Structures are given as C-alpha cells and as structure tokens.
Chain A
Amino acid sequence: MNAAPPLLEVRDLCVTYPSGGGVPAVRGVSFRLDRGETLGVAGESGCGKSTVAGALLRLLPRGTQVTGEVLLDGEDVLAMDAERLRAVRWTELAIVFQGALHTLNPVKRVGWQIEEAITTHQHGIARSELRSRVAELLETVGIPGRRAADYPHQLSGGQRQRVLIGLALACSPHLLIADEPTTALDVMVQAQVLRLLEELQRDFGLAVVFITHDLSTLASVCRRLAVMYAGRIVEEGPSDQVFAEPRHPYTKALAAAFPIIGDPRFRLAPSGLPGDPPDPRELPAGCAFHPRCAVARPECATRGVELWPAGEGRRAACVQVLDEALP
C-alpha cells in the first residue's frame, strides 16, 4: 500500500497574469507540506509569494493563466469544479490576509460574519449551537465571546486579526494559508498573534503556509523555509539552517538585511542588496539573480539553474552548490 499523500503537494506551479502581454509571476514552484507542518515562504515585493497563495485557493483574477498541480489530499484544486471548490475552501483550507480592517465587513457584527461562514458550509445547524460555536471560536483566538456583538471598528487591529483567524478556523480546515498575517501589527501584538498561530497548530494539528517578507519572523515560527526570487523558489530547507547558513547568495543577502541585535557584525553596519528585482517581463537569461549576485560567474549569465541538493534536507538553485557535490 502506498503511503498517504501529503496534505498539500504543489507541482510545477506557473502563474501568468494577463496584463501587458503576459506577466509570468510564478515560474515553476513545487513544494510539499505534511499534516501539522509549517512552511514559511519568504521573499520581497514582486517575488510571486502572494501569487502562490492566491493560486492555492484559486483566488486570482479572471484571465490569469495557471498551470501545474495543487494537490490537496491528492486531489487537484486547480481541476475542481466550482461546487467542489466551494466545499473545499474553508472546510479543508482557509486563508488569512493582512489588513484585517478591509477583509471584514464593516457594517456587520463580527459574530454574524463568523456565523455566515459556518452556515454556508453546514446547513441546518441549530441557532443555539451556532451561537455557542461562534463564542467558542472567538475564545479560541483569545477574544471574549461577548465581543461577537461588536462591529469591526470597535475592535483593535490585533483583535481584528484574531477575528480573521477565528473566521478562517470556522469550518475546522486542515490547512491555513497566512499571507502577511502580522505585517501591519505592532511587535507586541505581532508576538501575540504568532503565539496564537503556534498554539492552534499544536492543539489542532493545523498545517500552516506562512507567507511574509519578514525572514527573521519565519525563521522563528516555521520548521521549514522556502525563499522565492523572481517567481521561483531559490532555496529551501530547515528554517534555522536556511537563515543561519544560507546557501544561495540571495538568501545570504536577505538574511544579512535582518540584523541580529547584540551581534557585533551588524553593529553600525546595515546590510542591503544593490539593485532591484528584475521586471518579470524581462527576466535575465541564465540565473535570474546573476545581475545582482556578488559571486556570479560567467556561466551564470547563460546556464539555467534548478533546485539542486545542498545538504541534508536542503536544496538551493545556485551553481555553487554543485561544486561541493563533486567527488
């Protein structure tokens, strides 16, 4: 008998936006995630990380070309009909975006919004049961149940983000996609929300794909990490190793941009990366990172790269890792 399929397996995902003759935002992304696991997807503006999130839930604008496979429990999300997709969203996988103020309906009480999510997927649930389920969800995310009667503007930013997480959990999904869930929040509130996500993951065996530009946060909350650049994963592996000993020059530059407080190497020495990410319509030949790479070789301008093994459980899309693989 074959082993059960992973909870999520993404195979060669490609996404092209229709504007301006086609913008290839994601160019062949593959990864897998087991039940209860956390994967961090890191990268800077325009690298395609949020497009990956949108593709997993099929939330991209009409006309966007999506190829590859998104296997959820072995079933391809990209091939589902509308009815099946509706059933799967919320009950199997749910998403939390940044900017909770804009995602919640400002003229509906937060309790009503959670009720709506539940009744859409669970018809004929008794009124009293619904009430207690809403209160229970709010308590789960650290908000007193009586706040169900509040409108979004009566809650603070951190509380609204908690409500959104509660909303995402309304139908007990197995997989949560969190796209910059803490970006607009203060550090202390951010820590509260991250702690909540950790608890949910532990208590409910929830798997989480955590998408953010903040590499240092990911390194502290996710077991595995994938770093994206110009529409591709350029490095992946256990997050502490990827952050502490990056193998790809881009990851190295990105990690160095997050100073470690107390470490003299970063004291009065901010570190950045010259240049800008490439325009997805005019990607450089060879390795897309080579024009900004501090250790590029002549071959990098022409030779294509792929994710090569780079140590135990690690892969990196840089020709350097091939040197070490040689006998």
Chain B
Amino acid sequence: MFASPSSRARWWRRLAALQAGDEAAFDHAALELFAWQFARNAPYRAWCRGAGVSEAEAVTSWQAIPAAPQELFKEKTLFCHPARAARAVYRTSGTTTGKRGLQRLLFPDLYRAAALRIAATLGPLSTTPKRLPLLCLTPSPEENPHSSLAAMLGFFIAAHGDRRRSRFFVEGDRLLFAPLAAALKKAKRGGHPIGLLGTAFSFVHFLDANLGPFRLPPGSFLLETGGFKGRSREVAKPRLYRDLAARLGLPAASLWNEYGMTELSSQAYASGPAGDHRVPPWTRVVPVDPRTGKIAPKGRKGLLRWIDLANVDGVLALETADLGLATAGNGHYQQFKLIGRLPQLPRRGCSLDAEELQS
C-alpha cells in the first residue's frame, strides 16, 4: 500500500484533502492505516495484542487504536517494510534513559510534505509570504543525516527559504557565534526579515553568548523546538521567550514553538509563550489519563497520545511521556496545551523539594 512513490502520493493527496473536524473521513483513513500497519509491523502487532487487540478489525474507531510508547522504539524495529529498504533513518535523542530509538522511513516524502504543509498553515511559515533567509542553529542534514530536525529544517530552506542566504550555524558540536551575529546584524541593517530556528538549548547558548541585542526587521520570526535534554542550563519557557524577545527585538507572537517527535511525521505549532498547540486535519493529539489509560476529559491533564496519519512507515499512534491537556471544545483533539515532559520523579529518599524552602 505504501511501497511505491505513487501510492504514497495518493495517500498524501487524501490527507491533504481532509478538512478540520471531519471525523468520519479521519476515522476511516486511520482505521485503514492501522489495519495495514497491524499486518505489516510485527512488533507493533505484538504490542497491540499485549494491549488486548488481537485483530485489527476489533478496532472500530481511531480513539481505540493502541498507541506504541516511545520506549518501544528503543527496543524494537517498528517498520512496515524490510529494514534495509529504509531511505531515511532518524535517531531519537535518548533523553530519559540514554538509549536511543530509531525512526525508519521508506522515503522521506510524506515527512517532507507534512512538515512543509503544517509549517505553512499552522506554523511560522504561514506568516511569511516570501522566501526568507532561514538561520538554523542546528547542524545541516548533510552533517547530521540521522537528525529528523535537521532534515525538516532542510525541507524548509529548500521549499520556503532564501536558499542563498539560509545557513546552518552548528558545525561539529560548535555553535558558530561570529557568523551568526554577522548574519543577524546584516538582517537588521538591510531591513530584511529572517527566520531564526533552533532547539531550546541552542537558544540558551545563544543568550549565554551575549550576542546583540538585535532589532530584527518586522516579519522576522523565531522557531524553537525540543527541550534542553541535559545540554545546557534549563530555563523556564516564559523566561526563555522573554529573554529571546528582548534580545532579538521580536514581539511575543513571532516566537513559535514546534512540538514533534522523531518517531512521527507531523508536528504541532504554538505561537507565543502561552499559545495552544495546533495540529493539522490528519493528526489528533489526545491526553490519556495515566490512571485509567482512557482519554482524559477536556481540561484534564494527561499523557499526550498522537495519531498521525502521515506516519505510514512505522506506527500511526504514539504515546509520549509529555503531559498536556486538550483545549478545543469540539472534541476533535486538534488543539492542546503542552505542559511539558513528565517531571523527573523525586528521588526516593527522605525527599523534600527545594520548593519547600520558599517562605
């Protein structure tokens, strides 16, 4: 079904035609994709059976599709094709345990199409009619071919960026501060808006380097993604955004967060430090109450579970270790508030939070 470029293109056209809130069409496509993955992906099938789903036909709505946890990617090859057929292999960051998972794609076509469409409709590229220089605080896809983020930024530059003036500013493990400062100054001088894209920790390094301040031209944006992952000091999001806005002369609404997983093909975007995240019509994000395993009611926190119909080669349903809550009232689960990664539990001991020392 998804082995040839033409069949994948057909699927993409179907996804792209989905309307927000069209539950019937979404449900139909989700069950179709689930049945295919259940048949083709043995570790996922085993996981489903462990969750009490012995046959794909037993699942009659997208809400009932068993979600694979991120942990499963670290232990098994979740791929619906022969492993050697993968044209793109992305590694997860191994945030919690240090063990890294793999996302294999037969072709990166659907990932590319989804990422571009989402950024252009729900993300920062929706606000920029012309091609901007995209300054990326990450390694390039050539330097890090197993980074899904680098790949995505590469797609952005190719499709929406000013290719001549876009650049990746991480080489090896070094952030190239001097060329970055020069590019930012040039944008300021020339009055040409730019996009500045990177991970949260790269922006902390940027702030710590004391570059600027810059007053970026109107129309510029910043896109932040990912957590800190032990690679810099951690900064609370409101403070990070406030500092970045001040350093770059950008309004809060021009600061965007992209929330995605290496294990998936679609992303969610939020504007400003307190904005809700939104996903495209071919995606649902539901909070699952960890006590019951059931979808948490609106306004109640839960572990975020993704259903991503663009993720055809692995698994469409993924349970994350991130907490969030649904915020849209229509029950379509296309808008949510991201609370963040499951906090590190207190170390078991005679424990006390530093918080207790606040008078």
Indicate, yes or no, whether A interacts with B.
no
Interface residues of B (CB under 8 A from A): none
A-to-B contact residues, CB < 8 Å: none
